[in-house]
Amino acid sequence: MAVKALDGLAEDALRAFLAWSPSSRLARRQLLHGWAEQLALVKDDLAQGMTRETGKPITLARGEVARAESTLQATLEALGTFGEEAVPYDLMAGAEGCRAVLRRFPVGPVLAITPFNFPVNLAMHKLAPALGAGCSVLWKPCPQAPRTSRLLWESFEAARIAAAAPVRLLQLAPPEPAEAELLAQDPRIAAISFTGSERVGRHLEHLLVGKRLLLELGGNAAVVVDEGVDAALVARQLAPAAVAGAGQSCSKAQRFYIHRNLWEAFVPAFVEAAKALPVGDPMDPATVVGPLIDEATALRVDEGLDRAVAAGATVLLRGKRQGALLPPAILADVPEEDPFVCEEVFSPLSVLVPVATFEEGLERAAATRFGLRASAYSRDLRHLRLAESKLRAGGVLLNLPPTFRLDAAPFGGVAASGNGFEGPRWALDSFTEGRLIVEGPAL
């Protein structure tokens, strides 16, 4: 797209913002409520399109669309209490006769950049709170699901027209990274919300110094499993967290630190639980593990498995790759410096490591630059409390897999996994700025 056309997108976003930002919370809720009604009309088409374009198993795709509906509803609920907070000036010396409120104002036009692995729900986590906050939005969806993204946008447009909201309130931005960079640097764009890889997120940080930049980046979630737990039960809970949707989730369970006293019971239970999950045609409702996003990605992971084995890793489970379809793989004895341990694998791969104590497991789990999600399983409450303090991550799950998420709750990372929280109530903070309003005594 020509620079002139990009300039037009930014200018339209600014005009829409100036028209929308004075709107009442009631008007914003009515718009989002209308979107919820339109979303319900196309939810089956969205799920089918997502599966065809990204390979996400159809049952998971339907679940994602249902989650997007939940995210939109949570935004509507959050708007009911968001916007103004009383400040107790009457309790502060020197402020006699004064009253004060901390009021939130929309920050300006927002550029939202979303990934392929959750093309509908992760988009909703940005779009609905930004629009509800009073911002206009330029949305750069993933290039891998263009029809799905356009259908979601069209459902909003139908609601916008019905609500007589400003034109171009939500615009589709071009999918090319270079053009998104130009838009992000445009002074009319007030905030950029990005979900994607650590590499691109760090690039944006250097590119956009001084801009409001919200980052939800990658992870390599660890799970620490203590002795004394039910090995089979925990294995059945963790296997889908490691491989469902081909493991293409930033919070997928990747590294497993298993107490030595549980190792002999847990390993075969986990292998069997992973083997039991159906692999294959993503249009089959029974499928849990579908293809990776493309064959090149699957080939790269498969070659990485060969590399790890050559470096001394033991294969506990591995199947034959068929194009983009890579069956679950489970390794032990993987060197600590191997990318399968240090980096985000974003595939149906798991690394199992025996540890002498639960505390050792926590230390090794925390030895990462990432900090999105981490889990610990134990029957010892003291160990669970220790995990809370030792596992540095935006979300620490106790006796739950790292993929466990409620869309109305905060979700975000620390360190190399990003900054801030999504979840509608917390995203509203990100798309607004506070203004302390103080009124003195009557004159």
The string of DSSP letters for 354-390 reads EESSHHHHHHHHH-SS--SEEEEE-S-HHHHHHHHHH
Average pLDDT for consecutive 10-residue bins of the chain (443 residues)? 83 98 97 98 98 98 98 97 91 91 97 97 98 98 97 98 98 92 96 96 93 95 98 98 97 98 98 98 98 97 97 97 98 96 97 98 97 98 98 97 97 95 96 96 87
CATH number at residue 95: 3.40.605.10
The reply to whether 57 and 196 lie within a common domain is: yes
The reply to whether 289 and 348 lie within a common domain is: yes
Specify the DSSP class assigned to residue 299: H
pLDDT at residue 5, rounded to an integer: 86
Cβ density class 359-375: b for 16+ within 10 Å, e for less = ebbbebbbebebbbbbb
Question: Considering Cα of 6, then 7, then 13, then 16, what sign does the dihedral take?
Answer: negative
pLDDT at residue 212, rounded to an integer: 96
The reply to whether 233 and 134 lie within a common domain is: no
Which residues are within 8 A (CB) of 164 and not within 5 positions of it... i.e. 6 or more apart? none
The reply to whether 211 and 227 lie within a common domain is: no
Query: Are 359 and 387 contacting, i.e. CB atoms less than 8 angstroms apart?
Result: no
**Domain for residue 104, yes or no?**
yes
Rg of the chain on CA atoms, in Å: 23
**Domain for residue 404, yes or no?**
no
* Burial bucket for residue 423 (CB in 10 Å: 0-12, 13-18, 19+): buried
The reply to whether 171 and 296 lie within a common domain is: no
Specify the DSSP class assigned to residue 313: P
Which positions are annotated as active-site residues? 216, 250
The reply to whether 379 and 425 lie within a common domain is: no
**Domain for residue 409, yes or no?**
no
**Containing structural domain, residue 29:** 3-217+418-439
Query: Are 223 and 255 contacting, i.e. CB atoms less than 8 angstroms apart?
Result: yes
Whole-number Å distance between alpha carbons of 119 and 112:
12
The reply to whether 151 and 249 lie within a common domain is: no
**In sequence order, what E strands does 49-168 have?**
84-87, 99-106, 110-113, 137-140
pLDDT at residue 223, rounded to an integer: 98
The reply to whether 248 and 394 lie within a common domain is: yes
**Domain for residue 8, yes or no?**
yes
Write down the pTM of the prediction. 0.95
Q: What total number of domains does the chain contain?
A: 2
Whole-number Å distance between alpha carbons of 145 and 123:
12
**Domain for residue 406, yes or no?**
no
CATH number at residue 320: 3.40.309.10
User: Tokens in use for 119?
Assistant: 């093309």
The reply to whether 213 and 120 lie within a common domain is: yes
**Domain for residue 240, yes or no?**
yes
**Domain for residue 411, yes or no?**
no
The reply to whether 384 and 309 lie within a common domain is: yes
